[in-house]
Amino acid sequence: MALRIQLLPLALVATVGACGAEAPGIANRIETQDDRMKRQEAEFNASPDIKGDDLRRRLNALGIKDQWMSPAVEEHGVDIFKIRLPALDFARLDKRLLAKLLLDSRYRFELADEDQNRELAHYHGAELHERQKATALRELAERRQLNSYPRYREGMAMSAFAPRLEAWCGYEEGQALRVIDGKWVDYQRTMVDLAVKDKSDGRALASFDCMKRVVDATTELRRRFIGNRGREGAIDY
């Protein structure tokens, strides 16, 4: 299957929530659902959107020839390029720049070869991580929380760190994070359910944003998620 990320309706992007008005991570920073959706829409509209002839020219600049591109329409009716790359030319490509262009074009091209897709996915994941980290650190700075948010460092006991992060974001212990084998972690379904049901004061959504912000800002913590076990060879910029 080609490398794709589907864009969900803005109302569904928010997913997780909490309890506690005095939690440091969300204190005085709670949005209404309407304000949150407007902010997300504005952020999305301000993001890069390279398409059409401009996208073709940028692909050419990376070494991808016109004859390797075929116009296609993806399942939601968006015009994209389907790219069939000779193996030797793919090996010579700057895959970091290709991954950046994939994000900046809002996924308006895809590779026809599944092995090439899998290799590009490593670079895509690394680039996406760096962007999410930069956004999270900027938001923490805007909230004056750079010196106060819980920091995970390699070797910390996850059973001690996870409850501290949950409390900082307004969760009860075990509501947001599940500790596995003492050193791995995963999100709890409860966290998602709380945010989905948040139709009133926005605290559950604020807690979800808080949790995601800290995880995105902390490379060492992201590596402790159970889905990354056994992925020591993943690409980090």
Q: Which tens digits make up the pLDDT trace of 129-141?
A: 999 999 999 999 9
Separation of alpha carbons 82 and 56, rounded Å:
11
pLDDT value at position 15? 36
Helix (H) or strand (E) holding 55: helix 52-61
Separation of alpha carbons 137 and 116, rounded Å:
32
Q: Determine phi and psi for 147, rounding to 5 degrees.
A: -100, 5
- Taking only the tens place, the pLDDT of each residue in 23-64 is 999 988 888 888 888 998 999 999 999 999 999 999 999 999
The answer to whether 117 and 110 are in contact (CB under 8 A) is yes
Mean pLDDT to the nearest integer, 84-89: 97
pLDDT for 12 beyond 50: no
pLDDT for 112 beyond 50: yes
Nearest to 221 by CA among 155, 138, 127, 175: 155
Q: Determine phi and psi for 11, rounding to 5 degrees.
A: -65, -20
User: Which of 3-17, 56-70, 180-194 has maximum average pLDDT?
Assistant: 56-70
Tokens at 143, concatenated: 């909230």
Is the four-CA dihedral 110, 114, 119, 125 of positive or negative sign?
positive
